[in-house]
Amino acid sequence: MDGARTYREVLGLPEEAVVAVNSIFLNGRKISGLAQHRFYDVILLHGTLLVNSDLQVLSSTLLHPKDEVTNFSREVSGYLSEAMVEEALVAGFREVFRINFDIETLSPYESRLAMELLSIKYATEKWNLRTDEELTAEGMSSMPVIESLGAHDAMDK
């Protein structure tokens, strides 16, 4: 089964939804953006699915939106709970990738690393208020890195 068909079936997307390589559009407006990184035998997939977002706040904070956005719930069926969306996504990934999930909480080590990354990177003005030009000029090498974490250490935890 192809991924686009699964998105439609599992999430209840209407046939007119456009499933692009890294985005999903409904009625010409974006509801999802995805990206991935492959590293050896690991795939990191991350993205956003606008479900019940405050669109006024979102539009006032986006500096240079490339697409008009909307909520999935607004375009399809009304309010959707976080649990409903999680269930649909897990079912879709199970079907497409033929995998099972072990739902767990973060270990104390992972929680510490997340908090450290938040404080030195993701909560900084430099990270959150940079422009596309600054990103291109700086590249990822100028972003803070957690010195205590090597690639192999992360895989073992």
Q: What is the pLDDT of residue 119?
A: 94
Q: What is the pLDDT of residue 109?
A: 96
The answer to whether the beta carbons of residues 22 and 34 sit under 8 Å apart is yes
Q: What is the pLDDT of residue 145?
A: 47
Q: Which has more pLDDT, 119 or 81?
A: 119
Q: Which two tokens stand for residue 40?
A: 């050896």
Within 10 angstroms of residue 26's Cβ, the number of other Cβ atoms is 20
Q: Which residues pair with 33 in a beta bridge?
A: 23, 48
As a whole number, mean pLDDT of residues 4-27 equals: 73
Q: Which has more pLDDT, 53 or 92?
A: 53
Q: Which two tokens stand for residue 154?
A: 């992360």
Give CA–CA dist 71/155, Å, rounded.
Answer: 35
The answer to whether the beta carbons of residues 84 and 74 sit under 8 Å apart is no
Give CA–CA dist 1/25, Å, rounded.
Answer: 21
Does this model's pTM top 0.75? Answer: no
As a whole number, mean pLDDT of residues 130-147 equals: 57
Its sign, for the CA torsion 101, 1, 27, 84, is: negative
pLDDT classification of 7: cutoffs 50, 70, 90: low
- The most confident of 3-7, 59-63, 149-153, by mean pLDDT: 59-63
According to DSSP, the β-strands at 29-39 and 23-26 are antiparallel
* 109 alpha carbon, distance to own chain's centre: 23
Instruction: Catalogue all structural domains in the chain, each as residue range(s) with its CATH number.
Output: 3-97 (3.30.930.10), 108-156 (no CATH)
**Residue showing tokens 């003005």:** 125
φ, ψ at 40 (rounded to 5°): 55, -120
